[in-house]
């Protein structure tokens, strides 16, 4: 996977045991039981991870949440560049992530958090039970366009056609190599809710009411937003 692509996803959660049960039932993931950072496996390959909610976020009653990682080079310089933008918060400064990688958590000008990752390749192969796409739901896409263009060279192209485009303004985020790597949508408050986030969309072949999950919004185009029983929002798209 090239640099400046999304590469990994993990879940901060309050109850590891419940999260293992729910996502194992939903996607067929298997876990090793690690208390600090439990990697989910599918067909023997890493696809995501879960770990305990950080204490500083638990104190402010942050609900469980999925986090998206971007694979970068020169992480510390990118943190400095991100910090220069208005309304950006560096939530977690550069930190070791295993023996040969480091991460930093940044909140973009809309407040949506993502993690910069510098280290070996970790991108899972595509398929059911894995992240298919990522979406950013907010009020005004121009709030973040210049930020991501400066940080990663991403380009926002208006999306055309399809039932989603008829509902609200949508953009495809294009990498410099031409790949569409994510999507931005100006959705109503009842869809975007309280928190800003990069929401992962998982491919799946489950029924419309997966056990332990609450159906929040039907977005059309086969995509539905759910929340797990600890409040983490994510999207499912039916993919055989």
Whether residue 97 is found in the same domain as residue 34: yes
- In a domain, residue 219? The reply is yes
Whether residue 66 is found in the same domain as residue 156: no
DSSP 17: H
- Asked whether residue 76 carries a pLDDT value surpassing 90, the answer given is yes
- Asked whether residue 1 carries a pLDDT value surpassing 60, the answer given is no
Give this prediction's pTM. Answer: 0.94
Whether residue 94 is found in the same domain as residue 37: yes
The predicted structure's pLDDT at residue 187: 86
Is pLDDT larger for residue 154 or for residue 98?
154
- In a domain, residue 211? The reply is yes
pLDDT band at 165 (very low <50, low <70, confident <90, very high): low
Q: What is the CATH number of the domain that holds 94?
A: 3.10.180.10
As a whole number, mean pLDDT of residues 202-226 equals 84
Structural domain span for residue 228 = 131-238
The predicted structure's pLDDT at residue 235: 93
- In a domain, residue 126? The reply is no
pLDDT band at 167 (very low <50, low <70, confident <90, very high): confident
Number of domains in the chain: 2
Alpha-carbon gap, residue 206 to 27, rounded angstroms: 8
- In a domain, residue 1? The reply is no
The predicted structure's pLDDT at residue 125: 85
pLDDT band at 240 (very low <50, low <70, confident <90, very high): low
- Asked whether residue 162 carries a pLDDT value surpassing 80, the answer given is no
Output the 3-class SS for 101-169: CEEEEEECCCCCEEEEEECCCCCCCCCCCCEEEEEEEECCCHHHHHHHHHHHCCEEEECCCHHHHHHCC
Alpha-carbon gap, residue 125 to 41, rounded angstroms: 12
Whether residue 10 is found in the same domain as residue 110: yes
Whether residue 12 is found in the same domain as residue 99: yes
- Asked whether residue 163 carries a pLDDT value surpassing 70, the answer given is no
Final residue of a structural domain among 118, 153, 169: 118
Final residue of a structural domain among 58, 85, 118: 118
Q: What percent of the chain has pLDDT over 90?
A: 70
Whether residue 10 is found in the same domain as residue 82: yes
Whether residue 178 is found in the same domain as residue 112: no
Whether residue 104 is found in the same domain as residue 162: no
Is pLDDT larger for residue 80 or for residue 62?
80
- In a domain, residue 189? The reply is yes
Q: Is the dihedral angle over the CA atoms 128, 129, 133, 136 positive or is it negative?
A: positive
pLDDT band at 194 (very low <50, low <70, confident <90, very high): confident
Final residue of a structural domain among 118, 142, 164: 118
How confident is the model over 8-67, as pLDDT tens digits?
999 999 999 999 999 999 999 999 999 999 999 999 999 999 999 988 778 878 889 999
Instruction: Return mean pLDDT, the chain.
Output: 90
- In a domain, residue 123? The reply is no
Residue identified by tokens 């009842």 is 190
């Amino acid at each position: 996977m090239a640099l400046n692509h999304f590469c990994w996803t993990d879940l901060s959660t309050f109850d590891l045991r419940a999260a293992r049960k729910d996502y194992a039932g939903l996607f067929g993931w298997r876990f090793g039981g690690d208390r600090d950072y439990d990697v989910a496996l599918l067909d023997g390959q890493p696809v995501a991870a879960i770990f305990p909610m950080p204490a500083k976020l638990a104190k402010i009653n942050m609900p469980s949440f999925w986090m998206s990682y971007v694979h970068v080079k020169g992480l510390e310089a990118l943190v400095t560049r991100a910090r220069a933008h208005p309304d950006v918060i560096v939530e977690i400064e550069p930190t070791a992530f295993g023996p040969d990688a480091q991460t930093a958590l940044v909140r973009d000008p809309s407040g949506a958090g993502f993690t910069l990752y510098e280290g070996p390749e970790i991108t899972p192969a595509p398929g059911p039970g894995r992240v298919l796409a990522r979406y950013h739901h907010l009020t005004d896409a121009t709030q973040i366009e210049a930020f991501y263009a400066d940080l990663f060279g991403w380009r926002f192209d208006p999306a055309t056609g399809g039932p989603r485009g008829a509902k609200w303004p949508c953009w495809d985020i294009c990498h410099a190599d031409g790949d569409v790597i994510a999507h931005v949508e100006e959705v109503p408050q009842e869809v975007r809710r309280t928190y800003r986030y990069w929401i992962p969309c998982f491919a799946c072949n489950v029924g419309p009411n997966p056990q332990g999950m609450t159906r929040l919004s039907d977005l059309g185009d086969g995509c539905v937003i759910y929340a797990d029983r600890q409040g983490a929002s994510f999207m499912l798209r039916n993919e055989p």
